[in-house]
Chain A
Amino acid sequence: METDKRITSTAGKGFYHIYRFIIVALVIMLFIPGLNPSRIAGIINRNISLLTTSFSYATLTNGMGRAMRKGWVLESTMRTLQLSGLGITLGILLGTAGACLSLGNDRCHRISTRLTLTGTILALLSCSGIFVSYGQIALTEKPSKVAPMFPTMVVPLIVALVILLVVSVILLFKVPKSAKHQPLYMESRYYLFLLLLPFLALVFVFNYLPLWGWRYAFFDYHAGDTLSLDNFVGFKWFRELIANKSTVKDVGNVMKNTLAMSGLGIATSWLPMAFAIFLNEVKHSRFRKFVQTFTTIPNFISWVLVFSIAFAMFSTDGFLSSIMINTGVWKQGQNLLMDGSHTWLKMLLWGTWKGLGWSAIIYIAGISGIDQQLYEAATVDGASRFQRMWHVTVPGLLPTFFVLLLMSVANILSNGMEQYLVFENSNNSAAIMVLDLYVYKMGIVNGNIPISTVLSMLKSVVSVVLLFVANGASKLIRGESII
């Protein structure tokens, strides 16, 4: 007998919610080192997640070479540990597949519960493997070096797995028997969602999960430490930002540079529009094409290459020095890049060199969208060339200009760091240090994670606020939002 494929019993609906929730939590656990249930000894790297444990034996035993050679830790212990990790991971993956299928019809539900049941049992069995490894490692000759520790994270894992087990057994009985003869079917709304899910996971992992790193702002953290109540310092770093004299001075200087360079950028943001308007007055189309081609190229090379070009032009044995020496103006070559004066202006000029032609393209496209009749009408009314540019072209481009201007106001704190990193040297360091570069130097180069995290945080929050303000301004003035 043919059963309707669409039949999806509502049986156990609430249980499915518990089930999916647990699965999502377990999947997140796979990635987070702090929640790794297989960390049974202090000697094991504290930065490895369960996922890494299960797939990379080399990473798992990294740094244990001596302990294993001396026989403090047996290879079989570590192999067991890895296999247990693998078992748990596979169990969770089976559960995840089940959770995905649970969005389908009764037949899908049937398969779903079976998969989950298998996965849960596999994971629970593997948990016992962790205890076996722990039992072995606890008997080590050198507890001081190996530092065996009870894997506390196994407890919540087992609790979650047991709940999952109970839920899937209940669901196993709830799914109607008739489901056996149904074809596999899932409503397209859920099917499409499942297709999108892997990408949403990627977005979550790489764009939302970093927010979890904000917690470092509240700890006295040094590379290699773990975060615990012992080094929790609350708002200490935030206060330090205001109270510590030298930090205040540094940050004040950095803010000055950041705002100055962004300000210069904003003050010259009409340049691309002017570029486009004047280029439009060039009647020779081949020449216009030629200018456009050549002025856009610099946008596509990296800042490292821009610096390389600056080096070729302005360093001690570069182009300018050669010319000056050959004409006898200079006695010897000068390295203008090491010159620390007018740094803001120079950075603005390099930015303009790189970006002007490119930024003009949007306005060039905008001009071609302006109604030609407006020009004809203006000409007929006796408008001169400049009057046409000012009264027809400029108003036509203003909306675009306005949006870009608001965006650059919203991005006032984000100068990016590459340009300033490559051009930085001992002479211009004080004037070139923008926020992005300062945070990089502070956090990555000097390893001062907490305070640089504080700065990162503040910057993100201020940027979002600015974006909303800019958007609000746009809505108010133009009645249109920019995002």
Chain B
Amino acid sequence: MAMTRQEKIDARAEKEYYKHHKSRFRTKPQDTIFAVINYIVFAVFAFLCIFPFYYLFINTISDNSLVSKGLINFVPRGIHFGNYARLLQVPDLFTSVMVTISRTVLGTALMVLASAFVGYLVTKHEMWGRQVWYRFIVVTMYFNAGIIPWFLNMNMLGLTNHFAAYIIPGIVAPYNIILVKTYIESGIPGELEESAKLDGASYLQIFRTIILPLAKPILATITIFGAVGQWNSFQDSLILMQSAPQLYTLQHRLYIYLNTTSNLAALMQSGGSSVSKAVLESALSGKVIKYTISMVTIIPILLVYPFMQRYFEKGIMMGAVKG
């Protein structure tokens, strides 16, 4: 690209300046020390963040007898995947996985659709009482009646011990509605909508053919965050499903297993009669089973993580701009 005359002058002046003040820009020894310390601190912290996952993983795939002796700390040995296969014998685990997958898929899909739709509707200034209704929704982010009244309410609605309790309350997500609204207002040109309107398109048609496709980036963001939230949900299962163990989520199940290992090993032993006793005993040392269930719970998160990463900043920064 050709430089303008002024730029050329600026560039020359800059060069001159550097030449005369060389010492100021030379790397000093304290800079190097700083950089080294900085790198080390971050490397250590990153290591601390990732090592436990690695540790869990190598313990689930290594020879169980070595694991139970505490010999697998850094390098996996005697690699096998038997522990994962054996999880099928763990009572109730499969049900919990299915419950969690269903709520993740269904709950996220409905939440995203609703957020898109409501987010679109609240951008319509011609709506009767728009500002009031928008505040009516958004205020709930800052205020809640408390956990016990919430529980009593769910009980009153007949949603305790019911799968619907995982889905319906989460459909309207105020924060996500704000994200979609902000995105539509700032990212989708109003003229598009106007011209569609002139062509006789209805609000629903505009939503389907213009808003949904154009809002994809923000919808992807809330999908991923919503799905992770559903997958990690524990509190609602703990509080609402007290007499419906078949509806416990995976996290809730894991919590129970973490607190009662010995029973688990016993249960599995009575279940798997075809495997030789010695193999079972080594395989079923409670520790490995706990680790393996944890891995199963973590793996889906780690799998979607790379996709999530690129939406981080978008999600966070959009949230900072409130409409």
Contact = CB atoms under 8 A, between A and B. Distances in A.
Contact of B145 (A213, A283, A311, A443): A213
A177 B129 CA distance: 31
A361 B232 contact: no
Contact of A189 (B17, B127, B156, B255): B127
B59 A312 contact: yes
Given A281-B35, A322-B73, A326-B70, A422 B146 contact: no
Contacts of A192: 121, 124, 126-128, 130, 203
B42 A444 contact: no
Interface string A318-350: 010111011000000100000000000000000
A189 B146 CA distance: 35
Interface stretch (A6-14, A230-238, A449-457): A449-457
B269 interface: no
Given A304-B255, A308-B258, A353 B320 contact: no
Query: What bracket does the count of chain A residues touching chain B fall in?
Result: 35 or more
A439 B146 contact: yes
Contact of A301 (B47, B128, B137, B232): B232
A294 B127 contact: no
A302 to B, nearest CB: 4
B158 A59 contact: yes
A203 B127 contact: no
A308 B152 contact: no
B127 A193 contact: yes
B35 A193 contact: no
Interface string A197-219: 00110110111111111101000
Given A49-B157, A322-B70, A325-B70, A297 B302 contact: yes
Interface centre among A48, A49, A200 (most CB of B within 10 A): A200
A31 B317 contact: no
B258 A307 contact: yes
Interface of B is mostly: helix
B136 A200 contact: yes
Contacts of A1: none
B264 interface: no
A30 B301 CA distance: 40
A83 to B, nearest CB: 19
Contact of B149 (A214, A305, A333, A463): A214
A429 interface: no
B157 to A, nearest CB: 6
A194 to B, nearest CB: 9
A441 B320 CA distance: 35
Interface stretch (B82-90, B91-99, B101-109, B165-173): B165-173
A270 to B, nearest CB: 16
Interface stretch (B182-190, B211-219, B275-283, B306-314): B306-314
Interface stretch (A72-80, A93-101, A163-171, A285-293): A285-293
A189 to B, nearest CB: 4
A365 B313 contact: yes
Contact of A380 (B17, B128, B252): B17
Contacts of A208: 140
Nearest to B155: A47
A203 B55 CA distance: 43
Interface in B279-323: 287, 290-291, 294, 297-298, 301-302, 305, 308-309, 312-313, 316-317, 320, 322
A303 B137 contact: no
Interface string B26-45: 00000100110011011101
A308 B254 contact: yes
Contacts of B136: 200, 203
A291 B46 contact: yes
A278 B146 contact: no
A214 B308 contact: no
B127 A459 contact: no
B78 interface: no
Contacts of B179: none
B133 A196 contact: yes
Contact of B153 (A48, A189, A206, A303): A206
A249 interface: no
B118 A199 contact: yes
A398 interface: no
Interface in B43-68: 43, 45-50, 52-53, 55-56, 59, 68
A298 interface: yes
Interface in B193-245: 203-204, 228, 232-235, 238-239, 242
A182 interface: no
Contact of A195 (B31, B121, B235, B312): B121
A242 interface: no
B151 interface: yes
Given A300-B305, A326-B70, A460 B146 contact: yes
A282 B40 CA distance: 11
B144 A304 contact: no
Contacts of A307: 255, 258
Nearest to B304: A300
Contact of B203 (A188, A213, A456, A464): A188
B234 A353 contact: no
B71 interface: yes
A190 B128 contact: yes
A302 B232 CA distance: 5
A418 B145 contact: no
A475 B153 CA distance: 36
A483 B68 CA distance: 53
A52 B158 contact: yes
Contacts of A284: 39
Contacts of A47: 155-156, 158
B148 interface: yes
Contacts of A188: 124, 126-127, 203
A58 B257 CA distance: 33
Given A291-B45, A311-B258, A322-B73, A189 B152 contact: no
Given A49-B158, A205-B157, A322-B71, A312 B305 contact: no
B81 interface: no
B147 interface: yes
Contacts of A319: 52, 55, 73
Contact of A210 (B52, B55, B117, B149): B149
A436 interface: yes
Interface of A: 31-33, 47-49, 52, 59, 188-193, 195-196, 199-200, 202-203, 205-214, 216, 278-279, 281-284, 287, 290-291, 293-298, 300-305, 307-309, 311-313, 317, 319, 321-323, 325-326, 333, 353, 356-357, 361-362, 364-365, 379-380, 382, 385, 400, 417-418, 421-422, 436, 439-440, 443-444, 449, 452-453, 455-457, 459-460, 463-464, 467, 483
12 contacts: A49-B157, A193-B128, A202-B171, A210-B152, A214-B149, A290-B46, A296-B309, A308-B290, A309-B53, A312-B291, A317-B287, A456-B149
